[in-house]
Every structure is written in structure tokens, then in C-alpha cells.
């Protein structure tokens, strides 16, 4: 299997409160997400459609305070 390539959002302010995403694994049907402060800790795995829906909601502003 392909190794995850972890990336942070370009909106990250590098303040240590970031998540990293390995979108290169989308072709396998999963998107792992982890805490950047704990790169060897656990990762959450989302299926590709759920991740796409989450990203669409973020872009639509559905989580804005």
C-alpha cells in the first residue's frame, strides 16, 4: 500500500493547533487525518465521500461561528 503523504492546510498559522491530511490515499477510499502535534499517534480515517462532504460544508461556511 502507498505510504501517506501528510500535508497541513495552507491556512495553518503554524501555531501548533493543526491537523494533517493524507489525501493521496483517496484512491484507496480513505482519507486519514491526524494531529500535527502527535505525528506518531492515532489517525482518524474517513471514507472518501464523507471527507468530500465535510470539505464542501467547510467551504460553504457551514461551520463558521
pLDDT for the residue 10: 77
Confirm whether 1 is domain-assigned. no
Confirm whether 2 is domain-assigned. no
**Dihedral (CA of 19, 8, 37, 30) sign:** positive
pLDDT for the residue 14: 65
Is residue 63's pLDDT more than 70? Answer: yes
Q: Which residues span the domain enclosing 24?
A: 7-59
Strand order across the beta sheet in which 30-35 lies: 7-8, 19-21, 30-35, 43-47
Confirm whether 19 is domain-assigned. yes
How many structural domains does the chain have? Answer: 1
Could you tell me the three cell numbers for 35?
Answer: 494531529
Q: What count of other Cβ atoms lies within 10 Å of the Cβ of residue 1?
A: 5
Beta strands in the chain (DSSP E): 7-8, 19-21, 30-35, 43-47
Instruction: Summarize pLDDT for 6-55 with one digit per residue, the tens.
Output: 998 777 776 667 889 999 999 999 999 999 889 999 999 999 999 999 99
Confirm whether 65 is domain-assigned. no
pLDDT for the residue 15: 66
Amino acid at each position: 500500500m502507498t505510504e501517506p503523504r501528510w500535508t497541513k492546510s495552507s491556512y495553518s498559522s503554524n501555531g501548533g493547533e493543526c491537523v494533517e491530511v493524507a489525501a493521496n490515499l483517496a484512491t484507496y477510499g480513505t482519507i486519514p487525518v491526524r494531529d500535527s502535534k502527535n505525528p506518531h499517534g492515532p489517525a482518524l480515517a474517513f471514507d472518501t465521500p464523507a471527507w468530500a462532504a465535510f470539505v464542501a460544508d467547510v467551504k460553504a461556511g457551514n461551520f463558521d461561528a
